[in-house]
């Protein structure tokens, strides 16, 4: 059974890209259940009323669901248990989305971790996650199925079809997740430790949306990869996902508030023009723009470029990280409150185990290091495709003859940089010093 009650997840109901994925994930689940003699019942919330009604319709004595850890969903789960219990319906909340319960991984003082390495050591020392059981081949059908909406009645897909790029890039559902795992094992894992930082290569698993929607579980991944000699770098990324939920669980205010309280006094800027240019991939820095355009077209962005794009917004433009988090929330197919929050707070320097605020990525140097041939930029910023690698990450500095030969006119078909890197760096460091009482050169 699936209950659509987005108002119960406020202030973070699923964004537009997530709703598109959810529509197709539900279709895939419906089809998979049908092959096992079962059905998917779809209802519209409120969840407590719906569950009570369906329990009465079917005579169900028990209700089971997997625990979620977003503050609103966590509170809803506890409230549902109380309400159902008062009406004589037993309920059980299971662990399906994480390897370890956040409340069980604590430091020697009984407090939550705020440093990843120590957290990961504690996880490795804990009881290993159970191996998943196989899926049943057949499910017992009831004598009469409860009434159900059709999936399309939830109106999850956009009324104006902007999702063509998403359809080309993804196959939502368990079968799509399985294909991703198989392709990753066959073609990527051996070189993952190096290629995962190269956005121009197919060097990552791209499993994040499948994990978020429960189409594959972290326990399946853990037991699939744990015995592989070359899997440590990848499993550490799964552990970072666990860490993000650990932080959200223990610090539920962090989707809106900085974990480090001194950042409440940070002198953020209001810059509507800069924010719009950033969302549209028109900052004038090719690697940043390539990432933002990949996001707009596919609902996903390479993680190395996510860090750079986020850093540019909060440090070059000094726009509040919450603005960027909101944009990612609406446009990512893997929009996940725990991961999104930790990532943005990490880039802003205001979160746990965060990148220091004074570490300010140079977009040109980042491009030359991680996209040295310009492969990624050529794919997503085709206006620059004719430039040689030496100039593709800094087209405004290219000699006129090179620009002419490549058919590039900076400031016309591709924008000039919104801000000079050195000027932006000095401004950001001055702002940081204002809340730290320190000076950085």
pLDDT tens-digit profile, the chain (441 residues): 999 999 999 999 999 999 999 999 999 999 999 999 999 999 999 999 999 999 999 999 999 999 999 999 999 999 999 999 999 999 999 988 999 999 999 999 999 999 999 999 999 999 989 999 998 999 988 888 999 999 999 999 998 889 999 999 999 999 999 999 999 999 999 999 999 999 999 999 999 999 999 999 999 999 999 888 889 999 999 999 999 999 999 999 999 999 999 999 999 999 999 999 999 999 999 999 999 999 999 999 999 999 999 999 999 999 999 999 999 999 999 999 999 999 999 999 999 987 777 889 999 999 999 999 999 999 999 999 999 999 999 999 999 999 999 999 999 999 999 999 999 999 999 999 998 764 444
| Residue pair 277/260 in contact by the 8 Å Cβ criterion | no
Distance CA(61)–CA(84), nearest Å, equals: 10
> What DSSP element (H or E) covers 24?
helix 16-34
Domain co-membership, 212 together with 321: no
| C-alpha 7: how far from chain center | 21
Q: Is residue 346 part of a domain?
A: yes
| Together in a domain, 109 and 88 | no
Number of C-alpha atoms within 13 angstroms, CB side, residue 411? 4
Point out the domain boundary residue: 250, 273, 302. Answer: 250
Determine, yes or no, domain membership for 227: yes
CATH number at residue 83: 3.40.50.620
In a domain, 26, yes or no: yes
Instruction: With respect to residue 47, please indicate whether it lies within any of the assigned structural domains.
Output: yes
Q: Which helix (H) or strand (E) holds 79?
A: helix 71-86
Tell me whether residue 56 is in a domain: yes
**167 inside domain:** no
In a domain, 431, yes or no: yes
Q: What is the CATH number of the domain that holds 290?
A: 1.10.579.10
Residue 233 sits in a domain of what CATH number? 1.25.40.80
Indicate the SS3 state at residue 414.
strand
Write the CA distances from 437 to 75, 158, 350, integer angstroms: 39, 48, 16
Residue 440 confidence (pLDDT): 47
State whether 121 and 41 are in the same domain. no
Considering 67, 94, 121, which residue would you say is the last residue of a domain? Answer: 94
Q: How many CB atoms within 10 Å of residue 284?
A: 19
Supply 427's token pair: 């401004």
CA 192 to chain centre: 19
Residue 142 confidence (pLDDT): 86
Q: Do 193 and 123 belong to one domain?
A: yes
Q: Which two tokens stand for residue 247?
A: 């932080």
Output the CA torsion sign for 53, 57, 60, 61.
Answer: positive
Task: Verify that 308 and 432 share a domain, yes or no.
Answer: yes
Alpha-carbon distances of 335 from 80, 178, 297, 338, rounded to whole Å: 25, 20, 15, 9
The model's pTM: 0.95
pLDDT at site 437: 63
Both 279 and 345 in one domain: the answer is yes
* 369, part of any domain: yes
Rounded to 5 degrees, what angle do the CA atoms 190, 195, 198 make? Answer: 170
Same domain, 220 and 236: yes
Q: Domain check: are 386 and 294 in the same one?
A: yes
Domain boundaries, position 224: 96-132+175-250
Choosing from 64, 94, 124, the residue where a domain stops is 94
Which pLDDT does position 359 carry in this prediction?
86
For position 424, what pLDDT does the model report? 97
Domains in the chain, number = 3
Based on the domain organization, do 241 and 280 belong to the same domain?
A: no
Q: Are residues 179 and 246 in the same domain?
A: yes
Are 122 and 208 part of one and the same domain?
Answer: yes
What pLDDT was estimated at residue 357?
A: 75
Looking at the fold, whether 194 and 88 belong to one and the same domain comes out as no
């Amino acid at each position: 059974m699936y209950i659509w009650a987005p108002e119960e997840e406020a202030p973070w109901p699923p964004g537009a890209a997530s709703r598109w994925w959810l529509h197709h994930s539900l279709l895939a689940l419906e089809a998979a259940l049908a092959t096992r003699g079962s059905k998917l019942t779809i209802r519209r919330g409120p969840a407590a009323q719906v569950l009570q009604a369906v329990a009465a319709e079917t005579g169900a004595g028990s209700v089971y669901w997997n625990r979620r850890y977003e503050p609103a969903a966590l509170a809803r789960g506890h409230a549902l248990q109380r309400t159902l219990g008062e009406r004589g319906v037993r309920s059980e909340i299971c662990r399906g989305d994480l390897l370890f319960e956040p409340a069980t991984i604590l430091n020697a003082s009984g407090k939550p971790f705020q440093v990843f390495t120590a957290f990961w050591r504690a996880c490795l020392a804990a009881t290993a996650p159970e191996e998943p059981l196989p899926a049943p081949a057949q499910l017992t059908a009831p004598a009469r199925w409860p009434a159900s909406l059709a999936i399309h009645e939830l109106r999850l897909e956009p009324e104006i079809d902007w999702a063509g790029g998403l359809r080309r890039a993804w196959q939502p559902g368990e079968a799509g997740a399985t294909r991703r795992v198989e392709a990753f094992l066959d073609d990527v894992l051996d070189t993952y430790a190096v290629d995962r930082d190269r956005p121009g290569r197919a060097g990552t698993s791209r499993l994040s949306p499948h994990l978020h929607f429960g189409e594959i579980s972290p326990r399946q991944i853990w037991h699939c990869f744990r015995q592989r000699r070359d899997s440590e770098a990848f499993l550490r990324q799964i552990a970072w996902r666990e860490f993000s939920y650990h932080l959200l669980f223990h610090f539920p205010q962090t989707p809106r508030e900085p974990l480090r309280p001194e950042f409440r006094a940070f002198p953020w800027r209001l810059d509507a023009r800069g924010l719009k240019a950033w969302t549209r991939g028109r900052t004038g820095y090719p690697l940043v723009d390539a990432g933002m355009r990949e996001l707009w077209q596919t609902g996903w962005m390479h993680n190395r470029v996510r860090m750079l794009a986020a850093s540019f917004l909060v440090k070059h433009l000094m726009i509040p990280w919450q603005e960027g988090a909101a944009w990612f929330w609406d446009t990512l197919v893997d929009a996940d409150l725990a991961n999104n929050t930790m990532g943005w707070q990490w880039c802003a320097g205001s979160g746990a185990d965060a990148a220091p605020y004074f570490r300010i990525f140079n977009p040109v140097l980042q491009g030359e290091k991680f996209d040295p041939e310009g492969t990624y930029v050529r794919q997503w910023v085709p206006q620059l495709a004719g430039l040689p690698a030496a100039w593709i990450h800094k087209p405004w500095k290219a000699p006129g003859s090179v620009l002419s030969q490549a058919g590039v006119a900076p400031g016309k078909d591709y924008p000039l940089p919104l801000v000079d890197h050195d000027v932006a760096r000095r401004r950001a460091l001055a702002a940081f010093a204002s809340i730290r009482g320190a000076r950085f050169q």
